[in-house]
Structure 1
Amino acid sequence: MSASAWIASTLYRAAAAPASARFARALRDPAAAQAAILRRIIQQNRDTDFGRAHGFAEIRGAADFRSRVQVRDFAEMEGWIRPACDGRPNALTAEPVRFVEPSGGTSGLSKEVPYTAALLAEFSAATMPWIADLLRSRPALRGGQAYWAVSPPSRRRARTAGGVPVGMEHDSDYFPPLVRALLDRSLGVPRAVSRIPDLAACRRVTLRALLAMPELAMISVWSPSFLTLLAAALDEEWDALLGEMESGRLSAALAPDLRAELERALPARPDAASRLRRRFGRRPPEDLGAVWPRLALISCWADGHAARALEGMRRRFPRVEVQGKGLLATEGVVSIPLFRAEAPVAAVTSHYLEFLPDGPDGAALGVHELEPGATYEVVLTTGGGLYRYRLKDRVRVEGRLEHTPTLRFVGRADRASDLAGEKLTPELVEHVLASAAAETGIHPPFALLAPTWGQPPRYRLYAQAAPDDARALAAAVERTLLGAHHYALCRALGQLNPIEGVAVTDGERVYERVCTARGQRAGSIKPPALDAGTEWAQAFGAPLSAEVG
């Protein structure tokens, strides 16, 4: 047991006690908790540009709020969001924007979400009770070390056009500074790893750090495939990594100052390397729990498409408990997992939550008005300046904890495809296909981008064109999609293979046949640019294909 980690976990539980108590009270009366959040957000931002334009000074409750502020998606809010991201005071919030976080766009390739101190506090109002519940319910985690996924390396601007910083460094940055300092006491992977610009080098140094963590008790990642790919890299680099542990030298290509910092943080551990060699030889075991015998829990996505990716991860960690994450998006947190609940619980002490029922005319409901078994689209109002924002994530109400609904993510309201976090939407793909067609001069009468499972999965572009043209069009689509933040991250992390161009014939006829088999009326079928179904490889037979390198 690590003494510093045990002390940190004890202090963390003490620091999280007020947030945990507030959350426990809110579970018994979510309507009151939500009304207080809405009042706070409206009062704090009544004199902003958005607040004055929407009469915040006259709003007295949820009914007034809904009558004065319409539900909007990112494209409809972008005119308000952009000035805030560029640093204009009082555009959306009275508080200044501390940084912006990139996220996926809809018809555009990327969007940026403004983060304020109030928004970070709202995240903490959910994440602190979650971690406290982990430590209370799973004593094996106390005194152990943790690996929190480092934000993946990517080429991005350091600041917006108005000088606002872009991006947080580490997933633990969702927590306030004091709590982050406590969590960092249990982390064995140095935060400096997030500054490594090359993915392969980032993985290698991460593994080097993890091998020196015999007290590893918890892993927190987003996609299960991220951990599966890390395990595959360990298989390939095992012997060389043990050599680095013995020498204390890092072989990855690193800038001199970064190398020096990391080598100080990761000193030689020859005894540990020798023990691993004696026990496992020249390759790690299939069951990686044998390398980290204290590992008790993995936190990752477990719903939607991520459920399928769990299979590969469980093969490498068959004896480790997996806890599915709640619904936490770049824009805000909707639900958190608790061990006593059958599904993640609505995060009723964070943002103001509304829910749109399925159907064209459903009025927005408060969290206390949801019906078990029903499915809703989430609408967020946050301290970061998103007001009645359509998140476009859909949840199903599984039950209740006290008087608060438990929510399971079931998919996207915008027919998005999201195998590993790439968040492709039909509107985005329409835009990308039009750009690719203009670039290549190839205009097929039928073109459909669809996911297909593999190790890792990928997208195929089914194009009614000659094989060479299908390949060229797919290459152009791939190049353009690499400008979309989430798709580029998934490709950089190896969670998706490159797009494959597939030449097909009678594309619209095949598409119609599949859709009518799904129950759609033939007369109302219009082929979109993107379909999230995975049956298209079978539907189009065994076509000529060409992988885009």
Structure 2
Amino acid sequence: MAAWPGERRFAAGRAHLESVQRQKLALLLRKVAACEAGQRQGVAAHWQWETFAEQVPVSDYDHWRDPVDRARESGGNALIQSPVVRYQPTSGSTSAIKWIPYTRHFLSELDNAISPWIVDLYRQFPRLRQGRHYWSMSWVPTSLRDNMREDINDDIQLMSMGKRLLAGATQAVPQDVSLARTSEDSLFATLAYLISDSSLSMMSIWSPTFGLGLLKSMAMWREELAEVLATGSWGNRMLGSNTQSCPRSPRGAELLRQWDGRLSADFFMALWPSLALVSAWDTAASGPWARQLHALLPQAAFQGKGLWATEGVVTIPYQGQHALAYRSHVYEFQDPSDGTIYAPWELEQGQQVMPLLSTGSGLLRYRLNDLVRVDGLPGGIPALTFLGRAGTTDMVGEKLTAAALDAALAEVRLPAKTLPVCTVAVEDAGEGIPGYVLLLEGESTESERVAGALDAALQQHFHYQLARNLEQLAPLRCVIHRDMRERYLQQCRERGMIEGNIKMESLQYWPGVLPLWFGHSQASARAVGEAVL
């Protein structure tokens, strides 16, 4: 297998974490010091770890935006001495599109993480050796597609040539499906190929909500999908696309025509009897949705993804834990409470820290704002659990964190058969003042009770209580809807976030006015405020 050498290096080097990381920094500094951005920052190739940490500031994307934009316009790369393969779009909870340089050096770093994960995956789940696999594409908004390179949203391109050949030979959905003119057509074609493949043995996606959305779209389009699979013709789909082939599956068409559209484990077991593994995020706010997805696909084992971002990889699933991908980038970790920065070999069990990445894309000491907990150091490298976003919403001085929100929500009795989607901080929650809105998926008339209970729980925090008492914050509202997850995802898309990479987050900040559909809350914001004050 093409991944074996990389896995052997990963396993052998675990006892030498510090020396491996120092070597990686030395190589990175040589490449950065040889280019325009490094010279402008005064980066020196001979720096040791300690000098690098003293001289280079912690950064975010705004620090790199101008040189990246100039490089994209010129077709080069000003950040590091390594050819740019492509610029990969991504987005955050509150930001629009960011473009990350994917250089050859950066891709080799990602490959160093993929190798041990893939080998460990086949060891744990040998049934993967049979059947075909679905590797999710990094779905790109329709508005960007006309200017898109062919490999810009193909996750297979993250791999080395050998692994690409291996993955391509087992791929259930052809690469060119991702090049459809619209996101909807890409989704439709993906479903057509997946339904046609009874040998499907692995489904690797990022967000479990994306997987649930796939299954829901299958139900919504089942008649049209059945016609396409029965005839082997796209009909009115994939117009203007270079995709020539269309799957044909009389078996898949018949199953769809017999299906009443209700999402059930029995139907999906009949559709994909060989499914052995589903891989998706399953920590923090993604947990409830991962469990829901797994319940619909019980024939498959479920493996939680490691912590990956478009900017780099932090952890991979390895030997039953999420291990630091120490052979990929240069890693540091910042304590969010006091700002102290630790090298990876300085971490101790129980710490909660934020990763800083210095990568082959040329981004140095780049803070992800993800919070992780150190669960131990098996074999000499840290095992880390993703806890959620580490950011704070602070519209009027309330200083609310995702951890504080989660703790408050844990005190609230939610209605039966409802799931929390997100709590959103909005600049205008009504009457011209900011506030928070809890979004729940389900069917209930208890939104007023839930809103009052959560608002009261949050008022145990001094700054939130003060902001409420001074009427700087509107009373917290709760909106319950049976399709809340899809409403939330649509709002994220409209704010420029990338389909398939949208994380479920406990707490988000949305600039601007409250979306109109929030106005259908069953609770009166003012009534809730009077009840809890």
Same fold by TM-score, threshold 0.5 exceeded? yes
For 1:486, the aligned partner's letter is: M
The residue aligned with 1:519 is none
C-alpha distance in 2, partners of 1:424/1:97? 38
| 1:119-268 alignment, distance < 5 Å | 119-157=106-144, 168-255=152-239, 258=242, 261-263=244-246, 266=247, 268=248
The residue aligned with 2:275 is 295
Q: In structure 2, do the counterparts of structure 1 residues 444 and 101 end up closer, same or farther at CA, with 3 Å as the change threshold?
A: farther
| 1:51-450 alignment, distance < 5 Å | 51-57=38-44, 59-87=46-74, 89=76, 91-105=78-92, 108-157=95-144, 168-255=152-239, 258=242, 261-263=244-246, 266=247, 268-270=248-250, 273=253, 276=255, 286-287=264-265, 288-338=268-318, 340-341=319-320, 343-362=321-340, 364-415=341-392, 444-450=431-437
- Of stretches 302-311 and 373-382 in structure 1, the one that deviates more from structure 2 is 302-311
Residue 507 of structure 1, CA deviation: 8.6
For 1:54, the aligned partner's letter is: Q
**CA offsets 1:61-116 (integer angstroms, 9 cap, x no match):** 11010111011122233344333333475621112332212222576533221211
C-alpha distance in 1, partners of 2:262/2:439? 30
Q: In structure 2, do the counterparts of structure 1 residues 149 and 413 end up closer, same or farther at CA, with 3 Å as the change threshold?
A: same
- Let me know the Cα RMSD of the aligned residues: 3.8
Q: What TM-score comes out, normalization by structure 1 length?
A: 0.73
**CA offsets 1:387-423 (integer angstroms, 9 cap, x no match):** 0111111100112220001011111121379999x99
C-alpha distance in 2, partners of 1:478/1:217? 27
The question of whether the paired residues in 2 share the 8 Å contact of 1:153 and 1:198 is answered with no
C-alpha distance in 2, partners of 1:337/1:50? 34
Q: What TM-score comes out, normalization by structure 2 length?
A: 0.75
The residue aligned with 1:525 is none
The question of whether the paired residues in 2 share the 8 Å contact of 1:353 and 1:381 is answered with yes
Q: In structure 2, do the counterparts of structure 1 residues 277 and 73 end up closer, same or farther at CA, with 3 Å as the change threshold?
A: closer
Q: How many residues align?
A: 457
The question of whether the paired residues in 2 share the 8 Å contact of 1:28 and 1:404 is answered with yes
The question of whether the paired residues in 1 share the 8 Å contact of 2:352 and 2:374 is answered with yes
For 1:232, the aligned partner's letter is: K
The question of whether the paired residues in 2 share the 8 Å contact of 1:110 and 1:483 is answered with no
C-alpha distance in 2, partners of 1:406/1:478? 31
SS at match of 2:181: coil
SS at match of 1:344: strand
C-alpha distance in 2, partners of 1:166/1:277? 32
**CA offsets 1:457-490 (integer angstroms, 9 cap, x no match):** xxx9x9969x9xxxxxxxxx99997563217778
Residue 45 of structure 1, CA deviation: 1.8
Q: In structure 2, do the counterparts of structure 1 residues 239 and 478 end up closer, same or farther at CA, with 3 Å as the change threshold?
A: closer
C-alpha distance in 2, partners of 1:289/1:70? 52
The residue aligned with 1:485 is 496
The residue aligned with 2:446 is none
C-alpha distance in 2, partners of 1:424/1:195? 34
Q: In structure 2, do the counterparts of structure 1 residues 387 and 17 end up closer, same or farther at CA, with 3 Å as the change threshold?
A: same
The residue aligned with 1:23 is 10
Residue 238 of structure 1, CA deviation: 3.4
Residue 249 of structure 1, CA deviation: 1.7
How many percent of aligned residue pairs carry the same amino acid?
Answer: 26
The residue aligned with 2:485 is none
Residue 239 of structure 1, CA deviation: 4.6
Asked if residue 453 in structure 1 is aligned to residue 440 in structure 2, the reply is yes
C-alpha distance in 1, partners of 2:261/2:75? 55
The question of whether the paired residues in 2 share the 8 Å contact of 1:84 and 1:91 is answered with yes
The question of whether the paired residues in 1 share the 8 Å contact of 2:181 and 2:240 is answered with no
The question of whether the paired residues in 1 share the 8 Å contact of 2:205 and 2:500 is answered with no
The question of whether the paired residues in 2 share the 8 Å contact of 1:123 and 1:350 is answered with yes
The question of whether the paired residues in 1 share the 8 Å contact of 2:146 and 2:181 is answered with no
Residue 506 of structure 1, CA deviation: 8.1
Gaps of 5+ in 2: 394-400, 407-418, 444-450, 452-471, 478-487, 509-514
Gaps of 5+ in 1: 1-12, 434-441, 468-476, 514-549
C-alpha distance in 1, partners of 2:253/2:516? 36
